[in-house]
Structure 1
Amino acid sequence: MTRLHIHIVALYLLRNTKSVAALYARRLSEELFNASEKCPCLTADQLPDSFFLLDLECTKTCEDGITRCMVLDSTKNKEGECVPVDYGLGRCEYWDDYADFTRRECQNKLSMEPWCGSAWCFVDENNCERPNIKRDNNPINGTNVMTSYETCGNVDTYSEGKVLETIQGAHLRISFPGDSSDGYTLLTDPNNSSKKMGSMRDLMLGSDDGHTAGLAKLHNFTWEVKPISNNSLGRYSSSYTACVHEVALNETDMCIGAFWTTSERLLLTPFTTVIYSDSFYLVSFKDSQRDFLDTFLTPLAPFTNDAWMWLSLVVLYMAGAVNLVQTYNDENEAEDDSSDDGENKSYVTRVKKFACIMGDNLYYGVTSMAKGEVTSESEEPSVAEKIIIAGFMLFALIVLTAYTASSAAALVVDNTGVKYDNLNAILSSPSANLCIENAIADMFMKINTGFNNTSKLINKENVAAMMEAMDNGVCAACVMKQDAIDYIMAQDDEHCDKLRAGDVLLTIGNAYPVSSSYASALTYASGKTVNEGKYEPLRDRAKQVYVGSGKCGGDEESSSSDSEFEKLGTSELLAPLIITSGCTTIGLLVFFWPSLMLGHLRKPEVGTKKTPSATTDAGSIDTLVGDLEHDAALREFLHKLTVSQLLSRAHYEYLQHQMYNVTSCKSL
């Protein structure tokens, strides 16, 4: 029987017997260890008398000597339960699901608490170096009896309520900084200046429309607004850092908003877990002016220089092959040349002829590529010509499709650029300065050390101040988070002359600053909510309600630099290049194969135009014999011919004519 079968059977028995349930719980839980020497379990005689005071209120009747009445959870059941007399004492054990005793929270095996199958024991907090907690059965102040799962080798899963108990029923002082630059995490109600809205406010305190309950309602704590003091506001230029300072002074318990977890702020007070992160980009002015050369070369933008070179070579190769096949197939061309012209052509004439052939190749190649078909195709193409043309047609289809799509993207994307698309461009410009918010300036300079010893970095209080500095010519660009970019572009068209440029410059998390008294509880509560994916829908809804869509045609969300347009290179065009080159080469081999087979049978001298006869020619015989002595392939080929056929000049020319007809399909 496999382990899976054992578990299935055990699960069935769980619903029927407590003893098997207890056994199964133990086997599925952690291994049972002895208590750590650094945190020994208490024995009965080590318990203080005050530990049992609450048990005097038990009303249950238990079996003497075997069980005793004990209040396990004073908030839920003050009448108590009958537990083993040594419950939690002397050793590590699965006390909440042990022998004939099963705690109420552990009786339903389908919904029991995770700690039901974990071992623990009572320990003395003054004699324990392992983590320990106060259980519900020990509310008496002054006692040092604690519960430890860790001394038994387990992790405490019992204490979620204990972690949260500091905020349950508590009354917290809440402070709000100024409105956020993103327009949705924290903003002032336009109809009530004393009221705040936004996703970070709703996550913690709940929304007024009831859409979001908020952690305050889930964990039963109340709150009141505590304004930030003028002392802190005067100390810092950012109201957000000033609010963190208020928490550090214990003037408030928590600040609500999207607070960047910078090093300066982390030194002041604890923060909750990160709720979400901001990505920062470079924002620069649009640059729609392009010089004549850039505009002129736009049609060449779809492909890289290497790709254009290989495309040109392949097209010329194809056109030359087609031209060669068609010229060679013209039987009359060679016959019309006189002996005088064949032997005595001048060098200039030969150069002109070569230039004419290359001109034809270039013409046919360019026109064929533009039309997507071979413009010099014969009326009745040969097999070799068909192979070459078929390969080129496939090549033209792929390349023209890629060019059309890529050139359209190039024409659109390249219409508008940015004046400064990276930080190095700003550093290298003698007149360009960069604006940045005070709160992230130190972090930015630690990452981008090139700005450390320069006067190019100008600190501003907020996004509005940075935009004003750009419009006044103080800064050529600024560093801004994506949410802020979206917000300023959605308000009006005043800043449509600016664009986001380049990649992410830095990323910073956002969290709530809280006092140390509530840090553990609020960190756990907010972290659990975020891990369950409950903040993202809240954020998206707030963006839709408070921010809206952009008024600049969507350009604010994408960089218009050349990096957004990827040219097609040789690797992307490798398949069509190989296909058309291969087809052209195969076509040439098909065409020249008959000539290679009969190439040793020389034609008569140009201009002699001898009439073939059936009589024997001594010169031809000598030539054939000489060829036979040096060419084994020829001997094998001619072995199949009769002597009369071999000596027949007419049959020689007949063979050449037949071999040509095979390649031109005329014999078919």
Structure 2
Amino acid sequence: MFYFSKVLVAFVQVFAASGSGNLGSSECPCITNSSSMYTVYEALVAGTEGLPPSFGLTGCQAYDLNLAKYGCAQNAEAYCSNPWCFVDPELCPENKELCEAAGGELGSDVSPYCRTRRFDLSRSLFNVSGHYSYETCGSVNVYDTSQLNEPVAARRLRVAATAWAPWIVTKRNLRGEEVFAGPMYDFLEETLDAFDPNPGINIIPGWATAESRLKYPESSYTACVHDVAVGNFDICLADLWITPERNQLVTFLPALRNDHFYLVVPKSQGAQSDVGLWGRLERPFLPFTLDAWMAVSGFLCAMSFLLYLRQLCETGCEFDGRNKCSGNVVSFLQSLFYVWHDFLLGQSSMDVDSGPVRKIFSLALAFFILITLASYTASLASLLVVKNQASGGVESIEEAIKAGMTICTGTALLPTVNSVYPRGKFLGVPISAAPRTLWAGNCSAMVVTEDAINSMFSGKFREDDCAALEAGSLTAAEAQCREPGRDCQLAQVGELLWSVPISFPINPKMAHSFSWAFTSAITQGKFEDAKRSHVQLFPTSACQVEEPSLQLTSDDLSGTMVISFSLMLVGFIVMGFRQLRRKQPKSGGREETADPEVALPQTRGAPHLLSVLDVQARSVLPEIFSTLEFFQFALHRSHKLLVVVCGLLAEWLISSVRYVLGRYASSGGDEQDREEMCPEGSSVILPELGALGGADGVLRPEAAEL
């Protein structure tokens, strides 16, 4: 009953005065005349010079408008137009018991006691602990910045700092004392100007405490974060990654920058020679995929067949499978050769002055050649260059993991990399120790920051390792202090792996104040100014710049040359084989002067057809027969099934050509058969660019005379 009465009183106070206007949120309502503090506020307001009698007492209003007492005579400040009101502090705080009594939970909307709104202590009414709220009226208190200033102003900040060039460095001042400097340190000092009076910085020597180092022996940076969490320090001033483990301990300020991580591996100078013969042979074909090459071949074969049909139709010969005009097979093979030859030459040599059909076919072939070869050339230009691999055979972290490489990375990042790449083998080391750990053979690659890569190429890491060797803190095997340029043999490969934000852990009581100061300073460009003022601290590479060359070498063209020389060798072998056949003696003892298959049987008539057939066979068929028989001879020497099938195919082609030749030669004396095979007025099919045939396929007079 008691709880119910208090809830009822709260609602009555919220809606008691109907003339008071908007009374704000029910979670923290504006004061009304039913409140016990109302008369006290009313009397003090009336007794304060420069304030109207209703100041803060009649619900949510912009009481500061046109009020010179609070700097709003011209209403220049944003807070001048923000509504606010005095509130009853007994009704504003959350009350778990009253909230649950009303059947709600903290944070719910069941009862006003389940939630609250921010309210501040008034400093304008002397000797009275009055409270006011902008938030209950739907605005923000930008008038009183004391809550931002108080936790930091006029304090001595306990700061633990450690150097990490180029962001935080140490130097000697005029008195010979070692002091901190660098972009991050200077930026921190700039942010302190936002507080009045300015706080001071007290650098605590020794970095993280021994107690925290015992808790986090793998990382002194995480140990320092723990020191801030337990109150040993107010700030850790270092190049600190914001990781989930560290952020769980304490609040971090807004990120100043991000560390970008890349994969670094040793260079392999012999990577180019590692490309095998098959890799070089397939390089000229890499611009197109296998299905693309099949599509190109299909188009060219289809074009060859159309040209063959065009000749067949123009000569008037019927292709009925029973009576075949002489030279059908030869014409198709030559048509196929000329189309492929034109494609490889990059131009169409087809005669376009012999009718519309050739014009259309020539236009189609020329367009196909133009687009296809242009695409091929553009892609091949980059693929022909066999570049030196900048890695030991890997180009990404996925390849390194697949190869089973051990990868060094920062100890604090081990949980992250293990979750992102669960199949990888990672070794946690300090980032500055990653190069020497790699050279010692404990890992084969490393994931480090862009800053670490720059320091590595500048030679700084090697210099530090050599200095540690001379000081005796590292052994020769650990330091790996080799010749100058040791780390120039490393290379960054692959794309950006991930980014990690960097900032400072802060005392939770100061988090809001410093976050506001940091954000204000960053938006004003003060951090960029600090970087520009210390540009000399950023390392420059001491490694020789390797300019990529676009000039092709013999290695780059080796695959193309092997293929071309192989074709030349095949032609040379065929030439030698034919030469041996010509010199082979007949059974009568004299040498042959022509291939046996070219000698046609004697016929009884049809001199025109036979003369044409003899000329065409002697000019074309020897090359076809010799080539096919050579491949048949070579293929029969192999025991592979595929090669045997190819040999049988070659035999079938030879038998087919011989059959066609013998069929038409034997029918030369029968005028009726000749007319059925080639009707009167038709012309014998000749090769597309045959020496004895015209552009339109009609026999030239000098060929007929033969």
Q: TM-score scaled by structure 2?
A: 0.58
Distance 1:224 1:138, change over 3 A: farther
Deviation at 1:34, TM superposition (A): 1.7
Determine the C-alpha separation between the residues in 2 that align with 1:297 and 1:610.
51
Residue aligning to 2:343: 365
1:176 is aligned to 2:161: yes
For 2:220, which of 216, 227, 239 is the aligned residue? 239
* 1:145 and 2:130 matched: yes
In structure 2, the partner of 1:107 is 73
Structure-1 separation of matches of 2:304 and 2:69? 90
Structure scoring higher RCO (CA < 8 A, sep ≥ 6) equals 1
Q: How far 1:533 sits from its partner (Å)?
A: 5.8
Letter in 1 for 2:245: E
Corresponding residue SS for 1:495: helix
Q: Helix, strand or coil: the match of 1:297?
A: helix
Q: 1:149 to 1:399 in 2, by over 3 A?
A: same
d(CA) in 2 for partners of 1:283, 1:185? 22
Correspondence list, 1:222-621, <5 A: 222-227=200-205, 228=207, 231=210, 234-235=213-214, 236-287=217-268, 288-289=271-272, 290-292=274-276, 293-318=278-303, 321=306, 327=311, 334=315, 343=323, 351-368=329-346, 373-374=347-348, 376-378=349-351, 380=353, 382-412=355-385, 414-416=387-389, 418=391, 419-429=393-403, 432-451=405-424, 456-460=425-429, 462-491=430-459, 493-531=485-523, 535=527, 538-539=530-531, 545-548=537-540, 551=543, 553=545, 609=680
Q: Deviations over 1:491-538 (max 9, x none)?
A: 484323333344444432212111123111001221333356654565
SS at match of 1:106: coil
Q: Distance between the aligned counterparts of 1:421 and 1:116, measured in 2?
A: 61
Q: Match of 1:10? A: none
* SS class of match (1:307): helix
The AA in structure 1 aligned to 2:187 is L
Give the residue type in structure 1 aligned to 2:407: L
Q: Classify the secondary structure of the residue corresponding to 2:259.
A: strand
Cα distance between partner residues in 2 of 1:173 and 1:441: 30
One-letter amino acid of the structure 2 residue matched with residue 93 of structure 1? Q
Q: Any idea what the Cα deviations from partners look like across 1:277-334, whole Å, max 9, x if unmatched?
A: 3332332233424322323333333333333333443445456556765x469x6xx3
Counterpart AA for 1:283 = V
Report the residue type matching 2:22 in the other structure: F
Letter paired with 1:457: F
Partner-residue secondary structure (3-state), 2:423 = helix
Distance change >3 Å, CA 86–CA 433, structure 1 → 2: same
**Structure 1 SS opposite 2:486:** coil
Corresponding position: 1:91 with 2:59: yes
Which amino acid letter does the alignment assign opposite residue 499 of structure 1?
Answer: A
C-alpha distance in 2 between matches for 1:296 and 1:540: 52
Partner of 2:26: 37
- How far apart are the structure 2 equivalents of 1:46 and 1:470? 75
Task: Specify the code of the residue in structure 2 equivalent to 1:107.
Answer: A
The answer as to whether partners of 2:390 and 2:493 remain within 8 angstroms in 1 is no
Q: Give the root-mean-square deviation of aligned CA atoms.
A: 4.2
Residue identity in the other structure for 1:69? T
Partner deviation per Cα, 1:452-472 (whole Å, 9 max, x = no partner): xxxx32211x22211111112
1:646 aligned residue: none
Q: Secondary structure at the match of 2:143?
A: coil
State the match for 1:123 in structure 2: 87
Residue 88 of structure 1, CA deviation: 1.4
CA contact (8 A) 1:319 1:364 kept: no
2:152 is aligned with 1:167: yes
**What do residues 471-493 of structure 1 show as CA deviations (whole Å, max 9, x unaligned)?**
12110112222332233234484
3-state SS, counterpart of residue 224 of structure 2? helix
Tell me if the contact between 1:241 and 1:265 (Cα under 8 Å) persists in the aligned partners: yes
Which residue identity lines up with residue 71 of structure 2 in the other structure?
E
Deviations 1:359-386 (A, max 9, x none): 2332222223xxxx21x23273644444
Match of 1:186 in 2: 168
Over the matched positions of the two proteins, sequence identity in percent amounts to: 25
Counterpart contact for 2:323–2:677, Cα < 8 Å? no
Q: 1:434 to 1:46 in 2, by over 3 A?
A: same
CA distance in 1, matches of 2:547, 2:420: 28
Query: What is the DSSP-based 3-state SS (H/G/I as helix, E as strand, rest coil) of the residue aligned with 1:147?
Result: strand
How many residues are paired up?
477
User: Over residues 22-62 of structure 1, what are the superposed CA-to-partner deviations in whole Å (9 max), with x where a residue is unaligned?
Assistant: xxxxxxxxxx7323333233468855999999x9xxxxxxx
Shift of 1:139: 7.6
**What is the deviation of 1:84?**
0.8
The answer (yes or no) to whether the contact 2:265–2:445 under 8 Å persists in 1 is yes
Residue number in structure 2 paired with 1:17: none
> Which AA in structure 2 matches 1:517?
K
> CA offsets, 1:605-660, max 9 Å, x none?
5656479xxxxxxxxxxxxxxxxxxxxxxxxxxxxxxxxxxxxxxxxxxxxxxxx9
Give the alignment partner of residue 158 of structure 1, picking from 103, 121, 143. 143
- Once the 2 structures are TM-superposed, how far is the Cα of residue 445 of structure 1 from its aligned partner? 2.1
Q: Does the 8 A contact of 1:92 with 1:120 survive in 2? A: yes
Q: Which amino acid aligns with 1:169?
A: A
Q: In 1, distance between residues paired with 2:675 and 2:355?
A: 25
Aligned counterparts of 1:243 and 1:555: Cα–Cα separation in 2? 44
Partners of 2:130 and 2:546 in 1: how far apart?
Answer: 64
Deviations 1:193-237 (A, max 9, x none): 8233333223212xxxxxxxx212343333232222551574334
Q: Are positions 1:202 and 2:186 aligned together?
A: yes
- Quote the Cα distance in structure 1 between the aligned partners of 2:151 and 2:318: 112
Q: Using the alignment, how far apart are the partners of 1:316 and 1:103 within structure 2? A: 95
| Contact kept? 2:353, 2:359, Cα under 8 Å | no
Match of 1:134 in 2: 121
Counterpart-to-counterpart distance in 2, 1:106 and 1:500: 59
Task: Give, in angstroms, the shift of residue 550 of structure 1.
Answer: 7.2
| Aligned-partner Cα distance in 1 for 2:350–2:524 | 68
The 3 A distance-change label for structure 1 pair 115 and 101 is closer
Query: In 2 relative to 1, CA 136–554 (structure 1 residues): closer, same or farther, beyond 3 Å?
Result: farther
How far apart, in 1, do the equivalents of 2:260 and 2:414 lie? Answer: 15
Alpha-carbon distance in 2 for matches of 1:52, 1:173:
45
Q: Distance in 2 between matches of 1:393 and 1:379?
A: 12
| Alpha-carbon distance change, 344 to 150 in structure 1, aligned in 2, over 3 angstroms | closer
* In structure 1, C-alpha distance between the alignment counterparts of 2:199 and 2:510, rounded to whole Å: 11
CA contact (8 A) 1:88 1:95 kept: yes
Give the Cα–Cα distance (whole angstroms) in 2 for the partners of residues 186 and 250 of structure 1. 23
